[in-house]
């Protein structure tokens, strides 16, 4: 029996992009070492903050560390999966090689979103998970199973929303040619996700949930694990995820309709 | 040495034309440049965090006003010390674009330096509305520096730019020998972020660590001019530190010059 088509294409994409990336083995080891040092520097910043206080905006060190761990996992996934593709699409639109991709018998959005991965970037996720595990162990009360489930759902919702945001950025390159820098802007604004939402002022908090939804990926699951989530939080997360998924899909279809290839 | 002076002399004569060309380049890619400037959001993110910390009372003399002023100054100095020679060199060396530049009668490094400096006015113009908003929101942020302070700031921020440029050039030149120069710079950048005053004023570090930070090159790349501009450091007290800054510029400048010569020989040996 043949596997359904919906699974064959993503599996093939992952296989080919992995085998392309695996050619650079020394890069993989090197990235691991440098990633470790970068993680240490990031965690040290938090150490410095909590050297002065035991609690900031109602968050203790382990709780804030949890947010930072989730941030590391998120940014690692973004850099491994989303960022290489954005660069590739922008280039393909500019020189017209997107034509070839559009002729393939699979959904172009899927091809565009998953044709490249940088597995070496996943080291930060490993470091993030280790850091997060340690932080959870330091919490005064261990999270209940339901908290874990909620945290996982919230994280997934946030990642869907982040993916939508990146796809929207890709869509803009159909109209504006040089948007390579947009990825630096996205990454640097996402940096705000490394702190708990509580440290920001009200309107910044709204922006970090609804416009650049990093708060949904990092702070929301951390709230679940420390047991301070509410049904409202879950609803907001699901709403944001759906809005970004649908909105970016519509934008993508419109962008494709407006695509005129490089030669015409 | 005489060769270096001759090189510099040629650069001075070519400077007006260089700046014109480079400025036209900046204007052509103005949207890209604007996005680039807006990407430097880290000081604002750190401002939010330290602002929450100082909400319960000042830390090491930094109340909420001082924190806001410090990171506003960081935003400015970060723009004034911006360089991207690392990525430029890395690209030129890998793709062979360095070859035509080497034929010019002046060092490609000086040419790139001129191009980066000419983007500076544009960066300041983009930054202005944000600073205006910040001061309108919190007028107490504004601290007019004294004239000597302002003069010393000009010296210190120039040295800071030179340091950033030279360090980036050094890591960029690593591409003559290595494939992973960008990754290496990532480690340097992480250390820089922590120790330069980018994520926290030096005064907020544990007291045992602070003296070390004064002697490392990182502070001279950001924190020192920030503290002079923000009025955290009197100009008399800042003078010895500007001396340390100058020392680092000379040391790294000599290393850059030596490495560049070796690197260009190596590049030629590849037949590129």
Q: What is the pLDDT of residues B94-109, one digit of tens each?
A: 888 888 888 877 788 8
| Residue A256: per-residue pLDDT | 83
Which of these ranges, A8-12, A175-179, B192-196, has the smallest mean pLDDT?
A175-179
% of chain A residues with pLDDT over 70: 95
Nearest to B190 among A41, A51, A178 (CB): A41
User: Which range among A46-55, A107-116, B19-28 has the greatest average pLDDT?
Assistant: A46-55
Scanning A15-44 for CB atoms below 8 A from B yields: 27, 30-31, 34, 37-38, 40-42, 44
Instruction: From chain A, pick out residues whose CB is under 8 angstroms from the CB of B32.
Output: 178, 180-181
pTM, two decimal places:
0.86
Strands, E, within A63-107: which ranges?
none
| Residue B55: per-residue pLDDT | 87
Judged by CB atoms closer than 8 Å, whether chains meet at B50 and A204 is answered as: no
Question: Where in the sequence is the domain holding B217, given as residue range(s)?
Answer: 2-270
What would the mean pLDDT of B47-57 be, rounded to a whole number?
A: 89
What would the mean pLDDT of A169-193 be, rounded to a whole number?
A: 79
Instruction: From chain A, pick out residues whose CB is under 8 angstroms from the CB of B40.
Output: 188
What would the mean pLDDT of B44-52 be, rounded to a whole number?
A: 89
| Tokens found for residue B208 | 């045992």
Judged by CB atoms closer than 8 Å, whether chains meet at A38 and B190 is answered as: yes
Q: What is the pLDDT of residues B160-204, one digit of tens each?
A: 999 999 999 999 998 888 877 888 888 898 899 899 999 999 999
| Residue B270: per-residue pLDDT | 53
| Residue B102: per-residue pLDDT | 82
| Residue B1: per-residue pLDDT | 59
What would the mean pLDDT of A101-113 be, rounded to a whole number?
A: 78
The secondary structure of B102-171, three-state, reads HHCCCCHHHHHHHHHHHCHHHHHHHHHHHHHHHHHHCHHHCCCCCHHHHHHHHHHHHHHHHHHHHHHHHH
As a whole number of angstroms, the distance between CA A245 and CA A248 comes to 5
| Residue A110: per-residue pLDDT | 77
Quote the Cα angle for B243-B247-B248, to 5°.
120
| Tokens found for residue B13 | 């004569």
| Residue B272: per-residue pLDDT | 45
The number of distinct structural domains making up chain B is 1
Residue A178: which pLDDT band, with cuts at 50, 70 and 90? low
ipTM of the complex: 0.82
**Is the separation of the CB atoms in B248 and B262 below 8 Å?**
no
Quote the Cα angle for A151-A156-A157, to 5°.
100
* pLDDT of A208 above 70: yes
Min Cα–Cα distance to chain A from B53, Å: 6
Judged by CB atoms closer than 8 Å, whether chains meet at A185 and B186 is answered as: no
**For residue B164, what are the CA distances in angstroms to A91, B86, B240?**
30, 10, 20
What would the mean pLDDT of A243-250 be, rounded to a whole number?
A: 94
Average pLDDT of the residues of chain B: 85
Q: What is the pLDDT of residues B2-35, one digit of tens each?
A: 766 777 777 777 778 877 877 787 777 777 777 7
Q: Does A52 touch chain B (CB under 8 A)?
A: yes
């Amino acid at each position: 029996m043949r596997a359904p088509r919906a699974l064959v294409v993503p599996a093939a994409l992952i296989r080919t992009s992995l085998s392309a990336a695996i050619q650079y083995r020394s890069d993989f080891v090197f990235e691991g070492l440098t990633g470790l040092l970068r993680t240490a520097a990031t965690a040290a910043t938090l150490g410095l903050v909590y050297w002065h206080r035991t609690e900031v905006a109602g968050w203790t060190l382990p709780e804030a560390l949890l947010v930072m761990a989730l941030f590391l996992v998120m940014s690692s996934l973004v850099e491994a999966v989303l960022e290489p593709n954005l660069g590739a699409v922008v280039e393909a639109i500019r020189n017209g090689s997107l034509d070839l991709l559009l002729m393939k018998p699979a959904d172009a959005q899927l091809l565009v979103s998953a044709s490249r991965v940088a597995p070496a970037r996943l080291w930060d996720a490993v470091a993030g998970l280790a850091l997060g595990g340690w932080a959870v162990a330091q919490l005064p009360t261990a999270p209940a199973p339901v908290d874990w489930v909620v945290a996982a759902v919230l994280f997934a919702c946030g990642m869907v929303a982040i993916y939508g945001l990146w796809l929207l950025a890709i869509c803009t390159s159909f109209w504006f040619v040089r948007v390579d820098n947009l990825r630096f802007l996205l990454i640097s604004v996402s940096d705000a996700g490394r702190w708990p939402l509580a440290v920001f002022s009200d309107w910044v908090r709204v922006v970090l949930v609804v416009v650049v939804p990093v708060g949904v990926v990092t702070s929301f699951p951390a709230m679940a694990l420390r047991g301070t989530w509410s049904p409202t939080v879950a609803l907001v997360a699901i709403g944001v995820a759906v809005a970004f998924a649908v909105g970016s899909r519509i934008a993508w279809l419109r962008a494709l309709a407006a695509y005129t290839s490089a030669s015409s | 040495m005489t060769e270096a002076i001759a090189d510099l002399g040629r650069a001075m004569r070519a400077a007006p034309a260089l700046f014109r060309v480079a400025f036209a380049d900046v204007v052509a890619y103005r949207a890209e440049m604007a996005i680039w400037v807006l990407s430097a959001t880290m000081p604002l993110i750190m401002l939010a965090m330290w602002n929450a910390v100082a909400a319960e009372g000042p830390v090491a003399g930094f109340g909420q006003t001082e924190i806001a002023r410090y990171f506003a100054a960081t935003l400015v100095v970060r723009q004034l010390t911006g360089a991207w020679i690392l990525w430029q060199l890395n690209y030129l060396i890998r793709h062979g674009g360095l070859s035509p530049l080497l034929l010019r009668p002046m060092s490609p490094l000086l040419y790139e330096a001129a191009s980066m400096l000419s983007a500076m006015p544009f960066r300041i113009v983009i930054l202005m509305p944000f600073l205006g908003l910040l001061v309108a929101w919190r007028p107490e942020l504004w601290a007019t520096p004294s004239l000597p302070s302002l003069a010393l700031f000009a010296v210190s921020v120039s040295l800071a730019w030179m340091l950033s440029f030279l360090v980036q050039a050094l890591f960029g030149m690593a591409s003559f020998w290595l494939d992973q120069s960008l990754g290496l710079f990532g480690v340097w950048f992480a250390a820089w972020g922590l120790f330069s005053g980018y994520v926290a004023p030096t005064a907020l570090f544990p007291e045992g660590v602070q003296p070390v930070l004064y002697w490392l090159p990182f502070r001279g790349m950001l924190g020192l001019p920030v503290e002079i501009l923000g009025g955290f450091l009197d100009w008399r007290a800042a003078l010895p530190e500007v001396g340390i800054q100058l020392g680092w510029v000379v040391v790294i400048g000599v290393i850059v010059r030596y490495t560049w010569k070796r690197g260009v020989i190596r590049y030629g040996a590849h037949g590129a």
